[in-house]
Structure 1
Amino acid sequence: MPQRIQRKRSVGWRAGNAIIVDRSSRYGNPWRIIDDHILLHPDSITQRFGSPAEARAAASKHYRAWLHGEGPDTWQTGRKVFSRTRVITDLWRLKDRDLACTCPLPEGGQPDHCHASILLEFAAHPERLAQ
């Protein structure tokens, strides 16, 4: 069963057979966490949360809603363009693959508030994105 692994930026770390889906990839989440508890929206609005977990939960919630059609098809942040159409069109590439993102892994029994977990779900069940 495919799983999410935490991408490390340390010397020698390799993703193995996992596909990297962090912000540097076509699958990246346009909503970004800064200073552990501030959500930076792709339109540059910031939103403070009481904990990093709350900020990550909000970022993944926005990503899920965006994939379901909420908001514009593309977001541009700096030179990076995030395209909903491209993510959805390329979901087939993620089917049955482990996904690597820089988000911390959840503690045992806690929900996984990372957009990679959403991608794992939709890659396995693309019909859930039907609008």
Structure 2
Amino acid sequence: MIYLSIKALHVASVITFVSGLLVLAVCAATGNLVTLRATRRWDHRVTTPALALVWITGVAIALMGHWFGAAWLILKLPLVVLLSALHGTLAGFLRRVERDASEHRPPVLRFVAPAVIVAVAAIVCLVVLKLF
């Protein structure tokens, strides 16, 4: 029962984190200063704690399931690290834009949200199918 509870908490945290990450990506690409401030507050209060919970519960599930060393998990971890790093990069970018509204927005920001969706879809396939 504890395993299932942790797994449910993990899934809820992942949904919260990915939603927040997508909002961050869209806001970084298109948002105005008012939207940026609201998004940064949401990120600080909701998305970042959800990311911490994703990592804590994910490690707990992997330990309980004895999955460290499983090929699907080894393939999943770099994607999770990439999403975590992307979150930090976007949060830092929004902080800089809030300080200096003239901060240049790189054109690559348009592709961040689709990249997040592709990475999450790959993670879901790896976790659910466990083909390796």
Same fold (TM over 0.5): no
More strand by share: 1
More helix by share: 2
Tell which structure's C-alpha radius of gyration is larger: 2
